[in-house]
Structure 1
Amino acid sequence: MRTVLPPAPGAERYPALDFVNSTIALPGGQFIDFLGTPEGVNEWLTEHGLAPADAGVQEMCAAQLRSLREHLRSLFAARVAGLTALPAALAAVNDALSRVPTAALLYWDEKSGPYRATPCPTNEILDRALAALAANAADLLTGPDAESLITCDSPPCIRYLLRHGRRHWCSTRCGDRVRAARAYARRKVV
C-alpha cells in the first residue's frame, strides 16, 4: 500500500515532509492515511527509523501523531501562503520539541569508563518520535529550503514538496494528470 506514490521531492532530506504527506488524496474523493491505525503508525515510524518494529503503538499514541501531523500541515500551509501560523499549531510543535532532553546523559561503565548516551525507554519512544519530527519540520520551515516548499499543483493532491526547477507536482502521476488535463482543455477549445 505504501507504493501508491513515491516520496515527494525533498522527503529524502526532511522526514517531516514525508510525515505531513502520510495522508494522500486520490481522484474520486478517496483518501489513504498511513497513520490511520496503530499498526500503520508503527510501520511508518519503523520505516523512518523512529521506533523499533515491536514498539506496540496504541491508538492514543497514533492519535497524538495524527494531531501533530495536522498541526504541521497547518504550519506548512501558512508558510506556503505567506500567512501567520495558528498559535495552536506553534504550541503543539513547541510542546513536542520540549518533551525530551536534548543532551546525552553521562554514564559510567565499569570496564570501559565514562560514556554519553541518550536513554530511550519504551514509554519515551513516542515522545522522541514527536520531537524528531517537530525538530525536522522546524528546520525545514526556518532553513533555506523553506522558500522551495510548495503544495502539489495537481488537484486533488494535498501533498507538499520542495520545488526544484519548474516542477510543481509531487510525483510523475500528478504531473501526468496535469499534462493530460491541459491537453484535454486545448482539444476542447479547438
Structure 2
Amino acid sequence: MRLVKETVETATAEPAPPPAPGAEQYVALDFANSALALPGGQFTDLLGTPADANRWLTERDLAPADAGLQEMCTAQLRTLREQIRSLLAARLAGCAPPASALSALNEALTRAPAASLLHWDPARGLYRAASHPTTQIVEHALAALAADTADLLTAPEADRLTACGSPPCNRYLLRHGRRHWCSTRCGGRARAARAYARRAQPKAD
C-alpha cells in the first residue's frame, strides 16, 4: 500500500515526523502511530476530523478522495486505533492481550460486506450496490487495517516490534539493529537528554 510523508501540524506543534520504520511494510503500524504525542505537551491526531481521516485513508489507497466520511465513521477508526495500540502494547509487554481489543479486531475483520446487495429502481431496473456506500468504504478500510494488524502480530517481524525510546514520543516501530527511535529527530532528542543527564550528575569528591 502506498505511504506518504505526513505534513500535518498544529499552530503550536512541530510537524509530524515521517512514517516510523516498518510503516512502509505494515500500514497497521502507520495507523497505530496516527495519534502523536509531541514535545511541549502538544498532540497531533491525523484522524482528528472526518476530513483528516478521509485524507489519511485516501493517501494509503484505503478510500476514494470523495468518500465523504462523517464523524461516526471517523470515531470508529479512532476506536479501532486505540484497540490496536492495546494489542501492540501487550505484545511488547509479553502479556495476554485485552479481550476487548481482540474482540474489536475480530469484529472489524468480519464486518466488511462480501458482496453488494441487489436493489430495484423503476428507472434502472435491478442493480447491485452497497446499502450505504460510505459505511461500506469504512468497513472495508477497518477490515484491511485489522487484517494487517493480525499479520504484523503473527509475523516473524513481531519480534522486532518496539516503542520509540525518546519521550514523549508514543510511536511504535520495527527495530533495525539496536535502534529504538522512530525518527532521526527522536534519536537526536534522546541523545541530547542523555548528554544533559550526564552533565547534571554531581561530581564525586
- 5+ residue gaps, structure 2, are 1-6, 9-14, 117-128
1:155 counterpart residue number: 167
Distance 2:182 2:17 in 1: 9
What displacement does 1:122 show?
A: 3.9
What displacement does 1:187 show?
A: 1.8
**Misfit runs of 4+, over 2 Å:** 119-123
2:62 counterpart residue number: 50
Quick one: which of 158, 165, 177 aligns to 1:146? 158
One-letter code of the match for 2:77?
A: L
Give 1 or 2 for the bigger CA radius of gyration. 2
Q: Paired residues, what number?
A: 176
1:34 and 2:46 correspond: yes
* Deviations, residues 127-153 of structure 1 (Å, cap 9, x unaligned): 000000000000000111110111000
2:145 counterpart residue number: 133
**Structure with the larger RCO, 1 or 2 (CA within 8 Å, 6+ apart):** 1
Question: What does 1:66-145 align with in structure 2 at a 5 Å threshold?
Answer: 66-100=78-112, 121-145=133-157
Question: What does 1:174-185 align with in structure 2 at a 5 Å threshold?
Answer: 174-185=186-197
Give the fraction of aligned pairs with identical amino acids, expressed as a percent: 66
What displacement does 1:61 show?
A: 0.1
Distance 2:197 2:103 in 1: 44
TM-score normalized with structure 2 length? 0.82
- 5+ residue gaps, structure 1, are 106-118
What displacement does 1:33 show?
A: 0.3
What displacement does 1:101 show?
A: 5.1
Give SS of 1:42's match.
Answer: helix
Give SS of 2:200's match.
Answer: helix
Distance 1:145 1:50 in 2: 23
RMSD: 1.6
Distance 2:193 2:170 in 1: 18
* Deviations, residues 31-69 of structure 1 (Å, cap 9, x unaligned): 000001001000000011000000000000000000000
Distance 2:135 2:73 in 1: 10
Quick one: which of 171, 180, 185 aligns to 1:173? 185
Distance 1:49 1:149 in 2: 24
One-letter code of the match for 2:174?
A: L
TM-score normalized with structure 1 length? 0.88
What displacement does 1:100 show?
A: 2.1
Change (3 A) 1:56 1:49: same
